[in-house]
Structure 1
Amino acid sequence: MPIETRLHAEGLAWPESPRWRDDVLYISDVHNFRIAKLSADGGVETLCKVEGRPAGMDFTEDGSLLLATGIGRQLFSVDPATGVMDLKASLPPVESSYLNDLVVHPDGWAWFGETGFRFGLDTPQENGSLWAYHPQKGLKQVATDIFFPNGLVVSPDGATLYVAETFGKRISVFDIGADGSLNNRRIHAELRGEPDGLSLDAEGCLWVPLLFLGEFVRIAPDGREIETIGFPGMNAIACMGSGEDRKTLFLCVCKADRSNPQKPILSGQIHVALPDSAGVGRPR
């Protein structure tokens, strides 16, 4: 039986990196250059404007948001109450490579992707990377040759990192080291489309948006596709099993009119579904 969905919010541009805390859904509204807050009834307000263009973000143990800026190539701590941004780290300027999705481990390490090329502007290359950041231990590159790293998920036991390699059409996994290192890289699933922001559930399945196909697919632990939620004519961007009991699946989509490539018209929405299995792991 198909999973039913309902519209929760609209008025966004390109909604990425959904994160939940204290009955509020936080969204990296990428092409509106802001972090948005969504109330329980779907009301949208701006938490802060982000000049360097917001990308991945996640809550740290102290309750702040750790944010990567795509073009600015910086990490900020953001106060979720006031929107005040505090610079934590910077990567050297590279015009042709943006920062992307981000996840925080309970032990304080965070990982974020560097794309390796600019989507829509450069020839796709398998030269992206993953970086690790810790507020006391600094910043380091921990994986290379990633084909446009995107959604990141940490397993409930904290031992495994899942990575969406968008233009590789695959999900890869790493073993997580105590020092933030990533080891034993292997392919978890080969996909029929390009994956974006991931969510893991209590049965060990991944919800995966297939960006250009307008579908969210549920991938079993053995890599099989077992369920689908479709949004025809839209981009499927990110998802998160969240809410108070983590039984609400938030689905980020966008209808993109690119008839003028220099000024695309982006109409982003958040939908919700109630799957049988709750979300687990990080982010949440």
Structure 2
Amino acid sequence: MRTLKVLIDGLAFPEGPRWHDGKFVFSDMHAHQVVAVDMAGKREVVCEVTNRPSGLGWLPDGRMLVVSMTDRKLMRLDRDGLKMVADMSKLAPFDCNDMVVDARGNAYVGNFGFDLHKNETPRGTTLVMVAPDGVARVVAEDMMFPNGMVITPNGKTLIVGETFGRRLTAFDIGADGSLANRRVWADLGNSLPDGICLDAENAIWVACPTASEVIRVKQGGEVVERIKVETDAFACMLGGRDGRTLFVATAPNSDPEKCRATRGGRIETTQVDVPHAGLP
């Protein structure tokens, strides 16, 4: 049994974890900050995002992209601050959330599709792609809360965690960034997927908040490992020097007011056998 140790705590709600350029970077969503932390737990604020940050990614030139949730915009961090890349409000019915950016700079952005915190009934929504020039378009529809996403190392397959579909869904990626050949990559049964990451054996680590665990899943749905967490696991990422550190973003719940009041969010880590692969 693997055990988790706390890297940092006192967070509002950590999401969108990434390993980039030797650093661990994540969104402290309800604190409105993007944060970087080293392996000793020393943290720094990368930028402030007024309308809540979520998914993170990087363009080929190294500039960071960040999803601005409640105004449904994609932002880019330039030397002189955040700049809008695209306004997705006419394409995404509700708050935007996670994102993956491919090697060409195309950003695939999910959204809630409904008001989660007011307990609305889940309904299908869109997956939006934003090209490097800022042109945004819908590339998939009827997605049940598209959340964590990965791209395989060859750049040809996008896999999306559909939280309220309880599945991982795969698409072929076209030369223009379009998606085709939609299929179920893994049926997760009763597990609701949130953030995900891919390893070098083509297995996916999935954060499952309602089950308070992170699971490692093979294509087809076989769960080959489970790691329990003390509260709820909302996202995960493989990184570290050898790609074998599994970072897990945990929190007692996702309610914005409760998260800001309790500051129970953590980044927790453990070592695993198979290293990171693909994107992010």
TM-score between both structures, scaled by the size of structure 1: 0.91
Higher mean Cα deviation, 13-22 or 149-158? 13-22
SS, match of residue 117 in structure 2: coil
| Cα displacement (A) at 1:230 | 0.3
Confirm whether residue 254 of structure 1 aligns to residue 254 of structure 2: no
Confirm whether residue 150 of structure 1 aligns to residue 147 of structure 2: yes
Counterpart of 2:13 in structure 1 is 14
Preserved CA contact (<8 Å) 1:256 1:265: no
Q: Distance in 1 between matches of 2:117 and 2:194?
A: 16
Counterpart of 1:59 in structure 2 is 58
Total equivalences in the alignment: 278
Higher mean Cα deviation, 94-103 or 221-230? 94-103
The code of the aligned residue for 2:174 comes to G
Of 181, 184, 193 in structure 2, the residue corresponding to residue 184 of structure 1 is 181
Counterpart of 1:218 in structure 2 is 216
Partner deviation per Cα, 1:145-201 (whole Å, 9 max, x = no partner): 000110010001111111011111111111111111111111111222211010111
The code of the aligned residue for 1:44 comes to R
Preserved CA contact (<8 Å) 2:92 2:126: no
Counterpart of 1:231 in structure 2 is 229
Residues 261/276 of structure 1: CA separation in 2 closer, same or farther (3 Å cut): closer
Q: Distance in 2 between matches of 1:263 and 1:35?
A: 15
The code of the aligned residue for 1:100 comes to N
The code of the aligned residue for 1:61 comes to P
Q: Distance in 2 between matches of 1:88 and 1:257?
A: 27
The code of the aligned residue for 1:278 comes to P
The code of the aligned residue for 2:217 comes to I
Of 90, 95, 107 in structure 1, the residue corresponding to residue 87 of structure 2 is 90
Counterpart of 1:50 in structure 2 is 49
Higher mean Cα deviation, 22-31 or 195-204? 22-31
Preserved CA contact (<8 Å) 1:257 1:266: no
| Cα displacement (A) at 1:256 | 3.5
Structure 2: give runs of 5+ residues left out of the alignment: none
Confirm whether residue 170 of structure 1 aligns to residue 197 of structure 2: no
Of 269, 272, 280 in structure 1, the residue corresponding to residue 269 of structure 2 is 272
| Cα displacement (A) at 1:136 | 2.9
| Cα displacement (A) at 1:257 | 9.2
Counterpart of 2:206 in structure 1 is 208
Q: Distance in 1 between matches of 2:91 and 2:137?
A: 16
Partner deviation per Cα, 1:92-137 (whole Å, 9 max, x = no partner): 3699611010001112211011221121214233322101111237
The code of the aligned residue for 2:216 comes to R
SS, match of residue 164 in structure 2: helix
Residues 118/94 of structure 1: CA separation in 2 closer, same or farther (3 Å cut): farther
The code of the aligned residue for 2:180 comes to N
Preserved CA contact (<8 Å) 2:91 2:128: no
Higher mean Cα deviation, 34-43 or 151-160? 34-43
Residues 83/200 of structure 1: CA separation in 2 closer, same or farther (3 Å cut): farther
TM-score between both structures, scaled by the size of structure 2: 0.93
Preserved CA contact (<8 Å) 2:186 2:218: no
Counterpart of 1:27 in structure 2 is 26
Q: Distance in 1 between matches of 2:92 and 2:166?
A: 25
Question: Which residues in structure 2 correspond to 1:80-119 (within 5 Å)?
Answer: 84-92=81-89, 97-119=94-116
Residues 257/201 of structure 1: CA separation in 2 closer, same or farther (3 Å cut): closer
Q: CA RMSD in A?
A: 2.1
Q: Distance in 2 between matches of 1:83 and 1:274?
A: 37
Q: Which has the higher helix share?
A: 2
SS, match of residue 120 in structure 1: helix
